[in-house]
Structure 1
């Protein structure tokens, strides 16, 4: 059974697609009422599932007429997406941030789910069983190497 965060995420993605404009404005309290949860649950979903690494920009306006705007960032091409990810891959990369990059590659059809599972296994903290910060450095190097390989493959397309 899916948890409430998954359900809220899928709902927000569906209305984002239905709008067809690449963005949607929501009121946190209205979404919380709809799913009978606390507003902080909506914040959690937005902060963890709608990140820059996953291809979203989030803007918010506080106050009585406040809203949260979720914008889907569309790359010009898969090559541009991969190049941007390479540039965003710092010398150290947390598992969560790396996973977000991989989920984006699936969403943009750059990588199959099977390929993604293999990459996720390679960069998992249990696979990279060394102390921090070395683990995050290794993860960054591995992901950067994978992205460079994909980039050069896409360059030939």
Structure 2
């Protein structure tokens, strides 16, 4: 316990002397700061010279990725034409997607994303599903009854 008390006293003494010395240190550290700023600036110049080509290629790459654009008009028209023809069930098969990709010059991923976005923005599956299912049930000879939250649809209910 006495050692701790001695240490505390010595710390306090050091603290007060540090406080007196710190005034002088502030002036010196300001001088060092301006010197280090110059050194930092020189280092920055050296690094920029060394890596500027790499940095500019990275910048171009990031700008490409950020660039958003619409699909070409003729491609959109082809996709919209398919959409309007198959509005009640706008889920193209893999074969149809390949055909659309050939016709539009778009990637398979772009086709998939276009249909995902189009369905989210412009399709109400609950209503359209009912129409499609009613047509399928009344036109088909399966005689299957389908159950929904709103009731059942089938040969006996239509």
TM-score scaled by structure 1? 0.26
TM-score scaled by structure 2? 0.26
Structure number with the higher helix fraction is: 2
Larger radius of gyration: 2
